[in-house]
Amino acid sequence: MLMKKALFLFILFGLFCFAYFGRYQPVSLDVAKPTTITVEIKGEVVNPGVYTLKIDATLDDLVKQAGGFTEQAQTDSLSLMKPLEDQDTIFVSKRTETQKISLNSATLEQLDSLPGIGPSIAQRIIDYRNNIPFVELEQIKEVKGIGDKLYEKIKDLITL
């Protein structure tokens, strides 16, 4: 009888050791990684809002899910390959009107920034306005090097 109790205790101790040191180890939830991220997009997209994406999603994926950019979206400064992170907020700004350049007060650098106008033509514009101030836009065609084609390219970008 004593032998049966000893054998029973030995088996019970063995099961306890197996359960405690064996394959039934607790799993830490810290090791588990999420597979999705939640990102908000605002501004000039068709459907602004909060979206759930795969963890390796890029800005391009988010924009596609939001229906794409509107016609007024300013996209020059956005990198569509930018990887997103959980709880990012992306704002797509509205394209602004380009500020017109004044023929009577613009600097050489400002005039040079106009399409088709280089430093030499910009200097001719300044020399012209120092002698005769511009009173109408078409008067710029009197400057050597500016014809009808170039005037059509810049007329919406200039003012008096």
101-159: in CATH 3.40.50.1100? no
Here the tokens at position 15 are 């099961």
**Alpha helices (H) in 22-118, listed in sequence order:** 59-65, 108-112
Q: Long-range contacts: 151-156, Cβ < 8 Å, 24+?
A: 153/115, 153/116, 154/114, 154/115, 154/116, 154/117, 156/100
Q: Would you state the structure tokens that stand for residue 140, as one six-digit string?
A: 């710029």
Coil, strand, or helix at residue 60? Answer: helix
Could you give the CA distance from residue 140 to residue 106 in angstroms, rounded to a whole number? 13
The helix or strand, by DSSP H or E, that contains position 152, with its residue range, turns out to be helix 148-154
pLDDT average per 10 residues of sequence, the chain (160 residues): 77 72 62 85 94 94 94 84 92 79 81 82 85 84 83 81
Given this model, what pLDDT does residue 58 score?
94
pLDDT of residue 76: 75
> What pLDDT is attached to residue 40?
95
The CA radius of gyration of the chain, in Å to the nearest whole number, is 36
CATH 2.70.150 holds for 36-92: no
The ranges of the chain annotated as CATH 1.10.150.320 are 101-159
- CATH 3.10.20 in the chain: give the residue spans: 36-92
